[in-house]
Amino acid sequence: MKKLAVVALGGNALLKGDQIGTIQEQEANVLHTCKHLVQLIKSDYDIVIGHGNGPQVGNVLLQHDGGFKVYGTPAMPMDICVAETQGSIGYMIEQQLHNVLKVEDLDRDIITIVTQVLVDKSDAAFDNPTKPVGPFYSNEEAQKLKEEKAWTFQQDPRGRGWRRVVPSPKPISISNSKSIAALSRSGQIVIAVGGGGIPVFYVEPDKLEGIEAVIDKDLALSLLATHIGADAFFILTDISKVYINYRKEGEKALDVITVSEAKQYLAEGHFTEGSMAPKVRAAIQFVENGGKETIITEARMLGIANQGTHIIADKLK
């Protein structure tokens, strides 16, 4: 049986920090990423792909707001905007990956599944928004929007400006995970849990309803990887390895670390929220629940032996 990998694409796979988000920019970025994803298929992996949507869902919310102000078109809630971006980003990945597979003479179906993810309405995250969405703003722009719209903002830890933050509840279960497992195990490429999934809750027994939130895509994909029995979980970001003392004295790249070591570094504050900390938590979650390893790296390192930061169980080191 082939190995099965779940791959979480970071926002940089779709949109670079200095770009405005045109379709040409996003398609070029996705094509570049897909050329590297093929290396996993060549390494005998079946793959499930998930992706972020922070910039895109923020932009869609702004588009809805603009349409309401100019034309009176009803603005849609955040769960609908997440569903929109699952479809549009899934389409981009499908198309560009199809183009790459044709060049490589590889025959696979690519299937995007619009995915709901169950959350708890009483999750404490609803009282403490932390998930960045949308573009970066200057301090002056952020303060103005805070006053106009009652939005919550946080400063980017890498100094790129201010971003709106929204609730990010913990994912409880992934819809259609059995179908995702069956399709991927049969050799097809599945795109699922886009943007962390559409957040839904039980408004009453047996009745689901959407809720205003954005789920962390790495935590949701870690949960999916566990549910479908994936062998490896790849978290792709814009750096090749995880660092402690990042951009400080004593900076050190991490090659292979255990779950205990990862927890220690988290407790010591080496990883910032809204950046590396959620990725490390997702990595720990997958390994603690039976996964062999999580690899955090950038797309260009896929298929290269011993690249990236590998998080493994304590007993394996």
Q: Which residues are catalytic?
A: 11-12, 131, 217, 279
List CB contacts of 172: < 8 A, sequence separation 6 or more.
117, 118, 119, 120
- The region, left, alpha or beta by phi > 0 then psi within -120 to 50, assigned to residue 272 is beta
| Cβ contacts of 53 within 8 Å, gap of 6 or more | 11, 82, 85, 86, 89, 194, 195, 196, 214, 217
Sequence-ordered list of residues with C-beta below 8 angstroms from that of 144, at least 6 positions apart, any chain: none
Write out the two tokens for 125. Answer: 């995250």
Separation CA 48–CA 220 (nearest Å): 13
Measured distance CA(286)–CA(232) in Å, rounded = 9
- What residue has token string 């009803």? 74
At 257, list the tokens.
């670390």
